[in-house]
């Protein structure tokens, strides 16, 4: 059985099919088709960019082919710490989004929109808010909320265009770099990072970047503009839509372990994760009280602390981590090439 089904357009009064979609959605169809046909995976895209940068180096600088290859190779290991930080952002965001309290919150939020247009805009706004908290959370929340809204709408008899829900969820990612986990501002605020080296050793506090009035204004304006764009391209009543026909929720939940031994009992206990989570919270409080700055490491530890306080047991944390870890592979492969190309 297919996971989706297509609902044909509603004929006009004369029995003939009406033109589908808004003017903007019809105008975007050729671009959508082009992107689907010619944009490769992110890994292949990174490889293409690597060779494009190499070609520009040969054309615009006195470097020869051997110089370009040596510079690229020497730069491969120049970003290992940053790669680890980015992988943790994604992994911790995935884990946090799939904890029980967050999944229950998303289920309650999914019952709010009552019309198709409201559903599309709502999924986008929630995903954007999650992306401002951390981009790893925003990526996963957008997908989870799209499935949750689609499932609850189907139960209420509300027809929703599932591809539009998914697009709305991932559109929220557009503001991630303006938020709490923006890698550029946080790296610039981290002493000894590769960005501070390029700034002559000077660090730039997040009060001048992430929490500046101009960045907050840009984030608000971006959310409003993208919400308007979604409104303009969303299918209207009578248009052809693709509905989600299966309940795709709760795919990443971790089953309770069988308790047969004292070791099993400890694995299923909430005490170990609560103790470590409380200790990590204490560390973060002392860090900021002592005048410490917000860096990528501190962002990651703050979300790890929250996860430790929310999970039910070490067993659940291990299961969620195993599920999340499969999503970080491309980051681990892409960032070395990106860094090497800029070296």
In the predicted structure, residue 6 carries a pLDDT above the cut 90: no
Across 15-39, b (16+ Cβ under 10 Å) vs e yields eeeeebbbeebeebeeeeeeeeeee
Supply 139's token pair.
């990526």
Q: What is each CA distance from 179 to 129, 263, 318, in whole angstroms?
A: 9, 41, 28
- The mean pLDDT of 196-220, rounded to a whole number, is 88
Could you tell me where the DSSP H helices lie in 110-259?
116-133, 135-156, 162-171, 183-188, 194-198, 213-233
- Residue 333's pLDDT is 78
Q: What is the pLDDT of residues 158-178, one digit of tens each?
A: 889 999 999 999 999 999 999
Residue 340 in this model has a pLDDT that exceeds 60: no
DSSP 134-171: -HHHHHHHHHHHHHHHHHHHHHHT----HHHHHHHHHH
CA within 13 Å, CB half, 157? 0
What is the C-alpha separation between 22 and 10, in angstroms, rounded? 15
Residue 143 has pLDDT above 70, yes or no: yes
**Contact, 176 vs 135, CB < 8 A?**
yes
Task: Determine phi and psi for 328, rounding to 5 degrees.
Answer: -100, -5
pLDDT of residue 1: 47
pLDDT in tens, 310-328: 999 999 999 999 989 888 8
- For residue 150, what pLDDT is reported? 93
**What is the model's pLDDT at position 2?**
52
pTM of the model: 0.83
Q: Would the pLDDT of 115 be above 90?
A: yes
**pLDDT at position 116, please?**
93
Whether the per-residue pLDDT at 91 is higher than 70: the answer is: yes
In the predicted model, is pLDDT for residue 26 greater than 70?
yes
Residues 236-292: pLDDT tens digits?
A: 877 888 887 776 665 556 677 777 788 888 888 999 999 999 999 999 999 999 988
Share of the chain above pLDDT 90, in %: 49
Q: How much of the chain is in helix, strand and coil states, percent to nearest 5?
A: 65, 5, 30
pLDDT band at 96 (very low <50, low <70, confident <90, very high): very high
Q: Which residues contact 283 (CB under 8 A, 6 or more apart)?
A: 301
Those residues whose C-beta lies under 8 Å from the C-beta of residue 19, and which sit 6 or more positions away, are 26
Instruction: Between 54 and 124, name the one with better pLDDT.
Output: 124
Beta-bridge mates of residue 246: none
Neighbouring residues of 323: CB distance < 8 A, sequence distance ≥ 6? 94, 98, 252
d(C-alpha 286, C-alpha 278), whole Å: 12
41 Cβ contact list (under 8 Å, min separation 6): none
Average per-residue pLDDT for the chain: 86
Q: What average pLDDT does the segment 205-222 reach?
A: 93
- 95 vs 1: which has the higher pLDDT: 95
């Amino acid at each position: 059985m297919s996971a989706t089904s297509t609902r044909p357009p509603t004929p006009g009064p004369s029995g003939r099919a009406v033109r589908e979609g808004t003017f903007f959605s019809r105008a975007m169809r050729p671009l959508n088709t082009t992107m689907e046909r010619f944009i490769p995976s992110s890994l292949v895209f990174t490889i293409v960019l690597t060779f494009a940068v190499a070609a520009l180096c040969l054309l615009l600088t006195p470097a020869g082919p051997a110089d370009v290859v040596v510079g690229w190779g020497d730069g491969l290991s120049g970003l290992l710490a940053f790669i680890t930080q980015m992988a943790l952002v994604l992994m911790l965001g995935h884990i946090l989004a799939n904890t029980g309290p967050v999944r229950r919150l998303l289920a309650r939020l999914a019952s709010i929109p009552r019309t198709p247009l409201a559903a599309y805009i709502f999924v986008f706004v929630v995903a954007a808010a999650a992306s401002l908290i951390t981009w790893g959370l925003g990526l996963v929340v957008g997908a989870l909320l799209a499935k949750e809204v689609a499932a609850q709408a189907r139960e209420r008899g509300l027809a929703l265009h599932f591809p539009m829900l998914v697009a709305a969820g991932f559109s929220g990612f557009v503001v991630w770099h303006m938020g709490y986990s923006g890698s550029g501002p946080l790296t610039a605020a981290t002493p000894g990072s590769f960005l501070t080296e390029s700034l002559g050793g000077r660090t730039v506090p997040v009060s001048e970047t992430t929490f500046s009035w101009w960045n907050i204004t840009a984030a608000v304006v971006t959310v409003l503009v993208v919400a308007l764009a979604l409104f303009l391209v969303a299918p209207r009543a009578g248009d052809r839509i693709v509905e989600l026909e299966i309940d795709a929720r709760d795919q990443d939940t971790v089953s309770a372990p069988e308790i047969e031994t004292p070791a099993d009992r400890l694995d299923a206990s909430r005490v170990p994760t609560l103790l470590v989570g409380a200790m990590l919270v204490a560390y973060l409080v002392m860090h900021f009280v002592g005048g410490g700055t917000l860096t990528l490491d501190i962002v990651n530890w703050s979300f790890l602390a929250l996860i430790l306080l929310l999970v039910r047991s070490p067993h659940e944390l291990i299961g969620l981590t195993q599920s999340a870890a499969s999503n970080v592979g491309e980051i681990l492969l892409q960032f070395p090439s990106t860094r090497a190309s800029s070296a």
